[in-house]
A and B are shown apart, each in its own frame.
Chain A
Amino acid sequence: MSSFGPSSESTGDGGKLVGTVAGPGDGPNEFFIVTPDEQAVKTGEFITYSVIVEGEPQDVIARVTNREQARGLPETFMADPNVAPETVAGTLGVPTEDIDLYRLEATVIGFYDTQMQTFANPRQLPQPGTRLRTAPDKMLEAVLPNIGVDEADARTTGGEVDLSSVEVPKRDGLAHMGWLLNREAGAVDVHVPIDEFAATHLAILASTGSGKSYTAGVLMEEMMKPDVRASLLVFDPHGEYDTLAEMRGEDIFEGESGYQPEVEYFDPDNLQIRISELSIGDVMSILDNPSDRMQERLDGGWRAMQQRESRTWGVDELLVEMYQQYGEDDSSVGALEWRLRRSIQRNDLFTTDVNVPLEELVAPGRCTVLQMDTLSRRDQQMIATVLLRRLYQARLAAVRGREDDPNYDGEIIDFPLFSLFEEGHRFAPATGEAPSLSIMRTITSEGRKFGFGLGIISQRPSKIDQDVLSQCGTQVTMKIQNPTDQDAIKNSVEAAGEDVLRELPGLTPGQAVVSGDSMNTPVLIQVRKRHTQHGADSIPATQEWRTAHQRHQEQPTRSESADMGGGESSGEQNLLGED
């Protein structure tokens, strides 16, 4: 660093001076930098230089994508691990101080255009010899996420446009997810615009144990803050979000006029589905291999039932209707009767009358967690299917202004919704059938227009339906090593560039790449600490075994000691057939 003189430590105008442009790189947006410093610039660091664009000086941001040593001691000096290369160099009179030179490769991201409110590529590489600085923390906070900073926001009291002067944390509707990984903890906070991912959907993809539920928890906390007050619906197949209720009573969630987030838990007892809410397709999907004739009979009966005023009919009424239509001795209806009774009537999930009103389920400032850990996968899918369809129709009706329509007797939800799916591949699987897949495809492709956002959380991106995954506009990707899953991300996530994919195997728990519509450029972040406890920890097996063993020892024993072969054998000769 000494060659840069005292100005190298300056943080006044820009960040720290880190290096000099050596020349253009391989690609049209790449260039090489030479830096003598070994610590200052890491891969992924944002650096900046100034160019004149249309007469105005602009701070262009570039990302360091690779670093290699340009000059240093030869490897042959390192032949013996017991001998420091500096010792060999000292013996041979080779200087060892300040000789390391690094060559960095950087890719131009662009300068922040306050008109377009995103990065614009200047199509102009820096001149060789241009000095580069690390991009200032405050500036990155304002320009990395897609939060729409415009010229007025960036204008200082002195009238200049300075992106570093934008007070990002004071803006509303942003989710503070964490901070930039390459900088010190908390130096560059990353605030993701909630409006963006609530409209264009979200995917949190990570292998088990890398913190995807934790990250989802962070986002949910942010969405329940007083400046957001979202209406959240969480499909929780594992019961991982039972700690969210702690948000009540925490100061950080309290807002004006006594706002406190509500957290409602629904268990299977109050998640029953009214049979009349099922579509014919749903019924088909839960029956065991109905024949074509059976499907035709069921279709006719079901349509007739749906014409009725009453919404409280059940399997019995349906069968009566079908026997009336097709005759008492129709064999197909007889076969259907057995199937319907087995799959619907004897399943506690389905009922004739109870139907959770949507107003009870969702409300602004309320986080509704559907705890489905005791249900089978098929029942979980069925609940999701029916609820999503009802919610989607209620949103559709609200957006089309049907609350005043006298002919419309359905439900209305006059606020946007955001729904999170833990184990998203269960509800929108890539292979195999799921009744929920079709409505999820509809919402991910159309939901934007109707204020219905989905968040898919999964550890197996390759098992999620590609149509659903590719529609998730914002991606939070954490450690993923499985090559099939990496391919799935590459194929379906548009914003996932090569440099993002390359980072994935090396991330540690709590580190994530955030990319897509919510960001102006993908960034690597450290997810912040949750305000509430995390509920999805693994069970400590050895401890549980010890306590369980202790418990069993204290109880009177019911088991017999194992026969290890010392006693008389019984039956072996018979088995060998030697009688």
Chain B
Amino acid sequence: MSNTSPSDQSDSQTTRITDCLAIGSIVSSNSHMDYTVEIFNETDRERAPGPAECEFGQPVFIHKTIQDTEHVIVGVIYDTHLVDPDQGRSGPRLAQGDQKQFTPGYVEERTKLAGVALLGTAEVAADGSIENPSHQMPRWTLDVEDIVERCPDGVTRAFHTGTDGGILIAYMERLLDLAGSLGAEVMLVLLDRLRESFPTDEHQRVLDVIEKDVRWQSSVDRGVMR
């Protein structure tokens, strides 16, 4: 998979999964549904993802071939962590902030980790678009160092389109459960993205109902509404 020609922001409407921006690689998992991804920085990739490209609520996918069929496993960034091995260390340092050129690498060891919750799977068609989206739990396990790519809005839209042309968000209850305290927030961000992808009035109304439900449920859980 090539990461040398990452897609531009303007290509975000593409419906193909080829040439998407790689935003990181899997470093560990917390459960079958919940993976930790190390976001690429400038030393890993020439074109590292900008803050807006690996933001909270960003849909991502992992391209995998399973039993001769190409699949994408779609997920969403629902949490982030910053890691700094230098933190709390009070001894002498080899490098200072203004002396990067002499350092062996402490600064680069600072990394950004993202939690990715899996949403579902889809098959990859010959032209690089996705088909037969399924919001069931993916059966396959991902591997360490699998590349996680940014999911373009066009693909996100295809992933959320049901067989009857309606919106499909069947993973919602699972996501809310897995993401815990940030569940409602990640769901709201996803709904916001879907609003742009599904502008018709009929779809907006359905999204309204679901959004209100999510907001209401989280407000009740947090005790600000009854």
Contacts and interface: CB of A to CB of B under 8 A. Distances in A.
Interface in B158-176: 162, 164, 166-173
Given A80-B209, A87-B206, A92 B170 contact: yes
B188 interface: no
Contacts of B213: 74, 76-77, 79
B166 A92 contact: no
Most buried by A among B162, B167, B170, B206: B206
A83 interface: yes
B212 A91 contact: no
Most B Cβ at <10 Å: residue of A77, A90, A93: A93
Interface in B137-195: 162, 164, 166-173
B169 A92 contact: yes
A82 interface: yes
A88 interface: yes
A367 to B, nearest CB: 64
B205 A82 contact: yes
Most buried by B among A74, A76, A77, A91: A91
By secondary structure, the A interface counts as loop
Interface residues of B, number: 20
A92 B173 contact: yes
B210 interface: yes
B208 interface: yes
Interface in A79-113: 79-80, 82-83, 87-88, 90-94
Contact of A91 (B173, B210, B217): B210
B135 A93 contact: yes
**Chain B contact residues: helix, strand, loop or mixed:** helix
Given A92-B169, A92-B172, A93-B171, A77 B162 contact: no
Listed residue (B169, B173, B209) with the most chain A CB atoms within 10 angstroms of its CB: B209
Contact of A92 (B210, B212, B216): B210
Contacts of B170: 91-94
B195 to A, nearest CB: 13
Nearest to B135: A93
A276 to B, nearest CB: 79
B209 A79 contact: yes
A91 B206 contact: yes
A91 B170 CA distance: 6
Given A80-B205, A93-B169, A88 B210 contact: yes
A83 B208 CA distance: 10
B162 A90 contact: yes
Given A91-B166, A91-B167, A91-B169, A76 B212 contact: yes
List of 4 A-B pairs having minimum Cβ-Cβ separation, nearest first = A93-B170, A76-B213, A83-B205, A79-B209
8 contacts: A76-B212, A79-B208, A80-B208, A83-B208, A87-B166, A88-B210, A93-B135, A93-B168
